[in-house]
């Protein structure tokens, strides 16, 4: 007998994450947070030289940790495929692709189950906010508008479907391109991205790395790279929504 | 033995694209063309014009009808020619819904079809056999189509020629694909050829490639057109569970979701053959669906086989066959209307015009909508009359 294609209840949610030298950043907090609302976590460590693998192993919900000895830098599609292959071995109903510096807002953690316990949509997109310079503000200007659209992060896994990534070296989407061809839904739930929340020096380091890797803007926008150094970006204070509790 | 040919053309002889077929097949046969003498300008003197009123004088059991415009369908209806050859030039392949109903009725009635484009050629292969293409792209392939038309007029079997052309087209396309810019549609056509030829593993490869190309090109129908086709390929590969799950992934509308739920339930009950037939029908592979269902008719406790067959025959423009499936059960008003309309269509295609109109009028007893069918019949008649008078505008 086939396993049910789409289930309205009892869906297993596996989070998938690729990491590299995240020990001194948000990894521990991210895994602790994820552990409260997903069933299993699968991680591919891209040859970290710090304590990243040990941190990963310290969480019970991390069921698979693939440790690469050599980094797959510049072979991002291969890295994505590796992570995907490891994640589907957990036989999930749904997969959440999340980075080690991304956090769902509080109320999302209970609402996520409602989003996956249905048989109509096969992916969910969320609004991603780029926090800037602190954990209190996100950036909102013409080049930083990720939160104005939906980023597909959550997909139903159906073994008979064809999943494939574009064979790019950089900026490969976090989930197989073919997922977006299925019926999906955009959720208003928000995700906080702390990748830019560090100090000026860390942003300068990122800028330098992008310019070294992609000086012609082949993989990204040069204007956006330049805007990383913008001395006065437009910042908006983050308001964490109160979760609506059922009336008693 | 066929000793007479009558041509129902879509244009004057000077522009007629199938002259060689008619000249070859017409040797030692009487050849009539439903047109005016002016319409035959430049034609060999052996070709004779004939009017619509004179058609009854032809020896129909020894006559082959060659038709190049769908609007002639009701002029041929009921005459039972020995062979009916539908040669459809590209300009006559597609039109509005009423036109397509005529075209499909002609294709269903024809001994063989010669299409001019791959969309119609492949579409017809999913409905019937003895389908050919003649599109000027490959001389060898066109020669097979010409030979088939001439053979059909001579009463020879043509099924092996149809398969031969299918194989030839697949080989030709394989060469073409090496030089063409990759596209989902080109890969998909290749997958369809291979599926029709029974080369299912190769078909799966090309269907997957078509799907990938469609996704990369952000085509809206990547899943419902390209990925869905993998479901019937997987069925033919002997993977019925995967096949039905593959279809289920693509099921979006309520009707598709319901069909998937039915397939899954049938499979649970061990009725794999019926689930497979439904899968074929949902992929519009009507020919294989009909073959599967015909073999299941004796084990039809819930009437699902009959209902699916009805659906398949209706889609293939076979109203007679569909009507034969309807029993004398109690019917709703909607059922009665549908039945009478179907009867009207069947009778019109049998050449029983008065009876057809009577049936349609009965269908209109509970609403005026069916009267459109009478207007449609009249419009087709009018078009045939204009063609007969040499008005090809």
Q: Cα dist. B99→B69, B79, B95, B135 in Å?
A: 10, 21, 5, 21
Whether residue B25 is predicted with pLDDT greater than 60 in this model: the reply is yes
A248 — pLDDT class (breaks 50, 70, 90): very low
Whether residue A134 is predicted with pLDDT greater than 80 in this model: the reply is yes
pLDDT at B328: 58
A227 — pLDDT class (breaks 50, 70, 90): very high
Q: Among residues of chain B, what percentage have pLDDT more than 70? A: 99
Residue B244: which H helix or E strand, with range? helix B240-250
CA B386 to chain centre: 25
Size of interface A-B (CB pairs under 8 A): 48
Q: Evaluate whether residue A206 is within a structural domain.
A: no
ipTM comes to 0.90
Mutate: best of B187, B207, B211, B215, partner A, most A CBs <10 A:
B215
Report chain A residues whose CB lies below 8 A from the CB of B215.
164, 177-178, 180-181
A243 — pLDDT class (breaks 50, 70, 90): low
pLDDT at A245: 52
| Mean pLDDT (whole number) for B185-204 | 97
Choose which CATH entry (3.30.710, 1.25.40, 1.10.8, 1.20.1250) describes domain B268-325.
1.25.40
- Count the domains in chain A: 1
| Mean pLDDT (whole number) for A106-118 | 94
User: Quick one: CA dihedral A117, A119, A123, A128, positive or negative?
Assistant: negative
* Distance (Å, whole) CA A137 – CA A158: 38
Domain ranges for chain B: 4-161, 268-325, 333-383
* Distance (Å, whole) CA B65 – CA B8: 7
> pLDDT per residue over A4-15, tens digit each?
899 999 999 999
* Distance (Å, whole) CA A225 – CA A220: 8
Choose which CATH entry (3.40.1190.20, 3.20.20.140, 3.30.70.260, 3.40.50.2020) describes domain B4-161.
3.40.1190.20
CA A194 to chain centre: 11
| Mean pLDDT (whole number) for A27-33 | 98
Report chain B residues whose CB lies below 8 A from the CB of A181.
214-215, 222-223, 227
Q: Among residues of chain A, what percentage have pLDDT more than 70? A: 96
* Distance (Å, whole) CA B289 – CA B226: 19
User: In B13-154, where does DSSP find H-type helix?
Assistant: 19-25, 73-76, 97-109, 118-125, 139-153
Q: Is B330 exposed, middle or buried (0-12, 13-18, 19+ CB in 10 A)?
A: exposed
> pLDDT per residue over B327-357, tens digit each?
655 567 777 888 899 999 999 999 999 999 9
A126 — pLDDT class (breaks 50, 70, 90): very high
pLDDT at B325: 87
B249 at the A interface (CB within 8 A)? yes
Q: Evaluate whether residue A85 is within a structural domain.
A: yes
CATH number at residue A34: 3.90.550.10
3-state secondary structure of A237: strand
Judging by DSSP bridges, how do beta strands A137-139 and A235-237 pair with one another? antiparallel
pLDDT at A240: 86
pLDDT at B74: 95
Whether residue B366 is predicted with pLDDT greater than 90 in this model: the reply is no
| Mean pLDDT (whole number) for B136-163 | 96
**What's the domain range around A192?**
13-159+176-198
pLDDT at A94: 98
A246 — pLDDT class (breaks 50, 70, 90): very low
Longest alpha-carbon distance in chain A = 61
């Amino acid at each position: 007998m086939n396993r049910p294609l789409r289930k309205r209840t009892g869906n297993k949610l596996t989070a998938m994450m690729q990491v590299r030298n995240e020990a001194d950043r948000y990894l521990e907090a991210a895994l602790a947070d994820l552990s409260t609302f997903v069933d299993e976590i699968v991680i591919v460590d891209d040859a970290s030289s710090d304590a990243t693998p040990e941190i990963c192993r310290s969480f019970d919900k991390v069921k698979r940790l693939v440790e690469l000895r050599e980094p797959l830098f510049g072979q991002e599609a291969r890295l994505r495929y590796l992570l995907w292959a490891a994640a589907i071995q957990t036989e999930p109903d749904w997969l959440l692709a999340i980075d080690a510096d991304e956090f769902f807002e509080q109320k999302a953690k209970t609402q996520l189950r409602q989003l996956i316990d249905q048989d109509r949509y096969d992916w969910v997109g969320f609004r991603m906010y780029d926090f800037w310079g602190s954990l209190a503000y996100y950036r909102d200007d013409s080049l930083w508008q990720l939160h104005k659209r939906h980023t597909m992060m959550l997909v139903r896994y159906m073994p008979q479907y064809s999943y494939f990534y574009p064979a790019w070296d950089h900026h490969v989407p976090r989930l197989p391109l073919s997922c977006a061809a299925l019926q999906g839904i955009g959720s208003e739930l928000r995700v906080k991205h702390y990748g830019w929340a560090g100090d000026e020096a860390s942003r300068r380091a990122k800028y330098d790395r992008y310019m070294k890797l992609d000086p012609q803007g082949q993989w990204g926008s040069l204007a956006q790279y330049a805007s990383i150094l913008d001395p006065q970006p437009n910042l908006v204070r983050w308001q964490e929504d109160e979760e609506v509790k059922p009336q008693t | 033995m066929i000793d007479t040919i009558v041509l129902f053309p879509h244009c004057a002889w000077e522009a007629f694209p199938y002259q060689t077929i008619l000249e070859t097949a017409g040797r030692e046969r009487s050849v009539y063309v439903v047109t005016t003498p002016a319409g035959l300008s430049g034609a060999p003197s052996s070709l004779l014009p004939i009017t619509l009123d004179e058609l009854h004088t032809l020896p129909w059991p020894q006559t082959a009808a060659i038709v190049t415009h769908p609007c002639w369908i009701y002029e041929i209806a009921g005459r039972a020619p020995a062979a009916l050859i539908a040669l459809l030039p590209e300009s006559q392949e597609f039109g509005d819904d009423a036109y397509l109903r005529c075209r499909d009725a002609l294709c269903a009635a024809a001994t063989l079809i010669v299409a001019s484009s791959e969309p119609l050629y492949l579409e017809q292969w999913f409905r019937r056999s003895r389908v050919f293409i003649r599109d000027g792209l490959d001389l060898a392939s066109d020669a097979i189509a010409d030979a088939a038309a001439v053979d059909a007029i001579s009463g020879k079997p043509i099924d092996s020629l149809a398969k031969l052309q299918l194989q030839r087209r697949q080989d030709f396309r394989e060469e073409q694909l090496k030089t063409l810019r990759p596209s989902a549609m080109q890969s998909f056509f290749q997958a369809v050829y291979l599926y029709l030829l029974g080369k299912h593993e190769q078909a799966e490869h090309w269907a997957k490639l078509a799907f990938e190309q469609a996704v990369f090109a952000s085509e809206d129908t990547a899943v419902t057109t390209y990925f869905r086709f993998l479901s019937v390929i997987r069925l033919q590969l002997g993977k019925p569970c995967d096949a039905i799950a593959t279809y289920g992934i693509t099921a979006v509308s309520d009707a598709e979701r319901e069909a998937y739920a039915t397939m899954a339930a049938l499979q649970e009950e061990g009725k794999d053959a019926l689930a497979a037939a439904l899968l074929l029908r949902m992929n519009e592979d009507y020919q294989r669906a009909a073959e599967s269902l015909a073999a299941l008719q004796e084990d039809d406790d819930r009437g699902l086989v009959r209902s699916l067959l009805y659906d398949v025959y209706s889609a293939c423009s076979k109203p007679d066959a569909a009507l034969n499936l309807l029993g004398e059960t109690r019917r709703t008003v909607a059922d009665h209307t549908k039945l009478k309309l179907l009867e009207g269509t069947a009778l019109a295609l049998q050449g029983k015009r008065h009876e057809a109109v009577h049936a349609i009028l009965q269908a209109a007893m509970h609403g005026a909508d069916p009267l459109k069918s009478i207007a449609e019949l009249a419009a087709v008649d009018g078009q045939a009359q204009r063609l007969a008078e040499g008005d090809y505008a």
